[in-house]
Structure 1
């Protein structure tokens, strides 16, 4: 059915009238506020909100509001139906057949079809798009993805096909028990071929974009803000209460906190380093700290352009041991973060952290071992370039780490900060010695972290390579007990000092107590504005 402007206005008036007559949450009975908007703080602007190009947290928060995949991430971290109602798996575990809902619509009213998913997945592996997340389709072992990315076959030949408008078939090369979790990530989202062909790279700009999520992009100002309004064509629009979602880019966490208390934003994270304990005591119903499946680490440039000294594992290990992680977590951050010696987050589902020697030492023992290794490496006269994206918190951590290296090993460190987009380019081009990095799980399984350390992963910006790690990660995909493999991988990463794990995230944030429906149990921090609502203040 074609939706006319008159019809849209009539529907809006009916919706407003219904709200005025019965302004309570239909499930909880709570009285609803007249203002049903949600505004949150963003640390950085996104690089893209094209589902097949997005590669960072800022963009993904927006993409989840504007688009919808086969499955969504439920408030408790499990999966729930999105465009797909269900799926069946073949006996060999290689073929997934998804049944799509027939009432899913794009924001222009056109039906969402299985072919839209086929097109989205095919464009993700198309060398012409050159997506930094094409590897994700390969990681999911979609049939032919490796060859398509390499340009050896046409993207149309990979293992995705539309049986009919509401039936999608995806064929894998290896059975992955966690594959349904992987399709909650944006790389597997649908895309409108006609819109992309008409507008090119500008298809995701306000006025051009056609999404299938609960909201439609209405405003975007580079480096400042974005806004989206509730979509009246979303299949579950009647149950969506928040009618506008806005992200404000505020680089300074102290300014963000001030603007939170001034009522400009409803949610702000991360909090200024060290302030969470005091905020929790003073505002117990607004200050929260929950596990967050992200690991903060420093990457060494181990490519040909990297310093020769960093190719020595003794040098890398000494630098890692000299970092007193507890100072960072307990004295600087104070938001529930925990010292990290593994790459995979300690709260990852079905992951048991291996007992690594570094974690068993006292810091005094680590320092002594660091100095011994440094001397064994010839006590190199070293000046390192440490890069990070602009943030007071990243600067604080970089400053204290550089002091630790200077005091314990005599290493000089130059600190270089860049705004987000430039930082990604500098890091991705290996124009650094050591880079501040963080990885957040794309799905709740240890492989989402550990695959990053394989030699062919496009996000392995340090270019660490160990054939045994590649072999193990490949074997883990079909292993009955992948935990044994993950343990060995973590042991190798520790022995090689592939990276310097610094801390496992928690999400310390302020949330307006009038905003309800926040998914506190979702460790991936996959929130959807469509699940939120504002209650009337007393």
Structure 2
């Protein structure tokens, strides 16, 4: 049998426990080895992928999480896509002309791209989608990224001062898209492979209205796959190859089937039984399978951190936030709980994200902050108690109901309470979508959350914490920080790459020194992938996983 013996030992051991638990009055001398799932042998190349959280939204301009982005990217494409090296390459773009001053782009679109209802994909589909993204009435949490992209009038549209029609994008004919920028944006083409900039069919949106993305009939595809089975919060999603996709000849898979399995033991059982081809490992599983030839370990760009709600009594205090930030051992979390290649984060801009004008990674020439230091944590807490006139504090910690998030939160609670006398942490676990909604509403104390990089530049993190920013859930605010970010996006600093790079280092220093957020770890991905699967791309920036060129033999 092709699986390693230690896998069967693990599975058989688990089966024994389950059997004894169900029939405690009986005994057994042997346990049968697992068999291949019925129907697993098929001529169809359908990739079965485990997810540990549900898809939150199938709407490109509304979705905010990596899981939703991953599924959306399988059915819709934008101007650019990401290659195996993480670089932006043309997708719907046939040719691109950049103005000499870097303030304009003219994109000629492919004329052989169609939506799954037969409509051609046109330049107006981008104009409509981008105006929709920027329109305050849409309520997109990613609307701010239009300002990051530097389009003319973007900020005025976002603020409701100008109409979406005044945004710096227009269709001069069916297949020509012209973009005007207020300032040069060195990562603009990279941004164009990011989901919020994907096109939408205006006529179809008018037809389905608010029901968009609630069923296969209310979804359109112009990408490698179409949706054959889906409903909101579904635990399974089925995609079929899109035979009308302009690059269908490059797609070998007949489909992708997603299964939401939150429990890591159940997920591994499904993998062993051949029911899933790709599964994420957690905790002790990593030690057990790390030497298996089917084990894959990838350093990701996701940064997990605690977001303190500074509007909650006590958490407005900088010393209390610093006490919390330095009271837990990140190394223990990564080495004994996660074991998946994750590393402690004494920073908020991830390692390996972007290279500066000096040719060096951002982290290579930047400082570290908020290291685990229980004595310093105690000193900060005493200062906070004196400043606040209180000796005890109780805070809720909202976490999603995935195994890794729950395990990490339990360590955080244990160590914070052990190292900070008078501080109590109450874990509140819930589905990811609920956690995101509560944090967005500001209805929380502390939130264990994450951010994945949308493009290869420190700004993809730095702009999160500007005052009143869409993703500044904790409402932290610093005027100097705001000024540096604004200037780096469309001010004087945006015209000087070296000065801008140094300014972004300064913004990280300001945020960390005030403990505006409390970094925990940079994510690693420990994955098992069946040995008959190849061509599966893992990315640290933008989309975590891409299946377009995957093959299942």
TM-score by length of 2: 0.86
Counterparts of 1:103-114 in structure 2 under 5 Å?
103-114=112-123
Distance 1:370 1:341 in 2: 15
**Is 1:527 aligned to 2:526, yes or no?**
no
- Could you tell me how far 1:525 is from its partner in structure 2? 4.6
Q: Is the 8 A contact 1:213 1:234 kept in 2?
A: yes
Q: What corresponds to 2:35 in structure 1?
A: none
Aligned residue in 2 for 1:93 = 102
Cα distance change of structure 1 residues 76 and 522 upon mapping to structure 2, 3 Å threshold: farther
Distance 2:383 2:262 in 1: 42
Question: Which runs of 5 or more structure 2 residues have no equivalent in the other structure?
Answer: 1-40, 356-360
Rounded Cα–Cα distance in structure 2 between residues aligned with 1:203 and 1:145: 25
Matches within 5 A, 1:217-236: 217-221=227-231, 222-236=233-247
Distance 1:325 1:178, change over 3 A: same
- Separation of aligned partners in 2, 1:521 and 1:150: 33
1:437, 1:500 → 2: CA distance?
10
Q: Give the aligned partner of residue 457 of structure 2.
A: 445
Matching residue of 2:445: 433
Q: Secondary structure at the match of 1:289?
A: strand
1:115–1:333 CA distance, 2 compared to 1 (3 A): same
Q: Which residue of 2 aligns with 1:17?
A: none
What does residue range 453-472 of structure 1 map to in structure 2 within 5 Å?
A: 453-472=465-484
Quote the offset at 1:433 in angstroms: 1.0
1:27 aligns to what?
none
1:297 maps to what in 2?
A: 305
Report the counterpart of residue 280 of structure 1 in structure 2: 290
**Counterpart contact for 2:282–2:340, Cα < 8 Å:** no
CA deviation map 1:489-513 (0-9, x unaligned):
1111121111110011111111111
Moved over 6 A (4+): none
Give the 3 Å change call, closer, same or farther, for CA 526–384 of structure 1 in structure 2. closer
Give the Cα separation in 1 of the matches to 2:307 and 2:103: 35
SS at match of 1:275: helix
Residue in 2 that maps onto 1:268: 279
Which secondary structure does the structure 2 equivalent of 1:115 belong to? helix
Alignment of structure 1 residues 160-239 onto 2, 5 Å? 160-204=169-213, 205-221=215-231, 222-239=233-250
Counterpart in the other structure of 2:377: 370
Q: Which residue number corresponds to residue 393 of structure 2? A: 382
- What SS class does the counterpart of residue 99 from structure 1 fall into? strand
Q: Is the 8 A contact 2:323 2:381 kept in 1?
A: yes
- Do 1:94 and 1:171's aligned partners in 2 also have CA atoms closer than 8 Å? yes
Q: Which residue of 1 aligns with 2:89?
A: 80
Structure 2: distance between partners of 1:483 and 1:56: 27
Take 1:216 and 1:456, find their aligned partners in 2: how far apart are those partners?
Answer: 37
Q: Is the 8 A contact 1:218 1:228 kept in 2?
A: yes
Structure 1 stretches lacking a partner, 5+ long? 1-31
Counterpart of 1:118 in structure 2 is 127
Kept in 2: contact 1:388–1:416 (CA 8 A)? yes
Note the C-alpha offset of 1:474. Answer: 2.0
Pick aligned residue for 2:325 from 320, 325, 328: 320
**CA-to-aligned-CA distance 1:222-242 (integer Å, 9 cap, x gap):** 331111111121101122110
* Contact in 2 for aligned 1:76/1:522 (Cα 8 Å): no
C-alpha distance in 1 between matches for 2:112 and 2:376:
63
User: Is the CA contact (8 Å cut-off) linking 1:33 and 1:534 kept in structure 2?
Assistant: no
How does the TM-score come out when normalised to structure 1?
0.89
- Give me the whole-angstrom Cα distance separating, in 2, the residues matched to 1:231 and 1:101: 17
- 1:419 maps onto 2:437 in alignment: no
Shift of 1:33: 7.9
Q: Which residue among 485, 498, 518 is the counterpart of 2:503? A: 485
Whether the 8 Å CA contact 1:286–1:510 is kept in 2: the answer is yes
- Partner Cα separation in structure 2 for residue 85 and residue 293 of structure 1: 30
* Residues 214, 237 of structure 1: 8 Å contact kept: yes
Q: Which residue of 1 aligns with 2:148?
A: 139
Q: How much does 1:378 deviate?
A: 2.3
Question: Structure 2: how far apart are the matches of 1:367 and 1:486?
Answer: 29
Alignment match, 1:25? none
Offset of residue 109 of structure 1? 2.2
Aligned residues: 494
What's the offset of the Cα at 1:357?
A: 5.6
Match of 2:6 in 1: none
Distance 2:270 2:480 in 1: 50
Determine the C-alpha separation between the residues in 1 that align with 2:542 and 2:77.
17
Q: Distance in 2 between matches of 1:257 and 1:525?
A: 24
Deviation per CA, 1:471-490: give whole Å up to 9, x if none: 11222231312321221111
* Contact kept? 1:325, 1:503, Cα under 8 Å: yes
